[in-house]
Structure 1
Amino acid sequence: MYYTKINQENCIACGLCQIISPALFDFTPDGIAFTRKDENKGIIPVPSEEMDAFRKAYQQCPTGAILRSEEPFERQA
């Protein structure tokens, strides 16, 4: 199980994550990506049916802005 969020400081608004995984990622009005299900908090796990698309987006993000964790991000120190 993975949790994900976008490091918005690293996002270059290329659109790749949203093209690959539109159920997980969307864009702010400024074009910066965020995770849809939890407003980029990284507290809701990636659904199993979205895992393949998530992995592909994670691997192909040109700036490494897609973060992943095995636990919710808010629990990390």
Structure 2
Amino acid sequence: MPQLCKIIPERCIACGLCAVYAPDTFDYDDEGIVLFAQDPSAHQQFISEENANQVLLAYQKCPTRAIVIEK
């Protein structure tokens, strides 16, 4: 079942870990702030099962909890 992933750019400190752990899902803007790679203007999207493990790891590694996963 797809999980809903949300990003909270205001919490992001531009460390880049999300893009390291889940490069197919996350990217960052010119200031290093998190955004979704496929839809940079979105603040939430469903995560495919094939990317779920990478996104979970990025969520766990994010030091400011700028990534939120809902089931």
In the TM superposition, residue 68 of structure 1 has moved relative to its aligned partner by 1.7
* Unaligned stretches of 5+ residues in structure 2: none
* Unaligned stretches of 5+ residues in structure 1: 71-77
How far, CA to CA, are the matches of 1:36 and 1:5 in structure 2?
Answer: 13
More strand by share: 2
- The answer to which of 13-22 and 28-37 deviates more is 28-37
Residues 8 and 43 in structure 2, CA contact (< 8 A), matched pair in contact too: no
Runs of 4+ in 1 over 6 A off after TM superposition: none
Q: TM-score, normalised by structure 1?
A: 0.80
Aligned length: 69
Residues 5 and 35 in structure 1, CA contact (< 8 A), matched pair in contact too: no
How far, CA to CA, are the matches of 1:16 and 1:10 in structure 2?
Answer: 14
In the TM superposition, residue 57 of structure 1 has moved relative to its aligned partner by 0.5
Between the aligned residues of both structures, percent identity stands at 36
